[in-house]
Amino acid sequence: MPPPPAQDPKPGQLHIKYVRLDFARRWDDNHKIHDLEKIARSIVRRGFRNAPIWDGQLNNGVGGIAGGNGSIEALELLFNRKASLPKFIECDPDDNWWVPIQFGGDSESLAEAEAFALDLNNLTLAGFSAEERSRVWDGKKYLAIVQKLEANNHLPESVDKNDVQRLLAMAKNGGNTAGVYASNEEMDLAKRMLAGTNASNEDNEGRRGDGRSDGSGEERTGTRMTFYVDDPGLVKEAITRTKEINHGEAIAVICGLYLSMVRE
């Protein structure tokens, strides 16, 4: 099948250019954790098919990679190992590798470029809390960038002010977190269990272990609670106590442990 119709880029449109690898500068403040060996294996297997995105505002206006830093770093790894030239990478007579980069969409400011770079990574992680998303980054450095963007009124779409407060609380507590999804009914159950009231069969009627209402296929409404754990034994106790009971009671036990910790 022939390729779809295409046209040469006009001013202001996105376009791909090949850049010498050592000039494809990564974002200095990109502190995302990458599995470079797996990325490198993917490049060897499939070629370099995902062109990184350049933003001229990054690195204080020098420019840098907003999205695709891990791919560039993995490519550098392959180059330094003198690996075979991957597909879609060019090589000049001096044995320099050239990599496809997307240009044409610079941000209006450094702050906006950094917010864009965070969103490129975070918005692919749907359904995760701010604390969970932060685990793919170097936590302290990630928090520093987020705080800087908040001070400049340029928080990314993937982080709001409440998220910043939760990240600060997590950092204050040594970065140890545990999360649980609890409906209003389960929170009531947690409180009763904490008070020594046994759960009745009605409390868990229709509950299934996958966290959905019985047979409906619809998620229950509720709240994701995140609490901070200084004593790893607390989590171990929760796991032990919930091993042989159903979903509703498991949630209640964990919530009960949380509530008792808060009450103290």
- Using CA atoms, how far residue 148 sits from 111, 133, 139, 141, in Å, is 9, 18, 14, 11
The one-letter amino acid code at 41 reads: R
Sign of the C-alpha dihedral computed for residues 129, 132, 136 and 140 taken in this order: positive
Could you tell me the two tokens for 14?
């996105």
d(CA 88, CA 68): 15
Per-residue confidence band for 84, with pLDDT thresholds at 50, 70 and 90? very high
Per-residue pLDDT tens for 169-228?
Answer: 777 766 544 444 444 555 565 556 555 544 443 443 333 333 333 333 333 344 444 444
Contacts of 198 (CB under 8 A, 6+ apart): none
Contacts of 214 (CB under 8 A, 6+ apart): 206, 207, 208
Q: What is the mean pLDDT of residues 162-175?
A: 78
Residue 146 has a CB neighbour count (10 Å cut-off) of 24
pTM of the model: 0.65
Could you tell me the two tokens for 236?
């171990």
pLDDT, residue 174, reads: 61
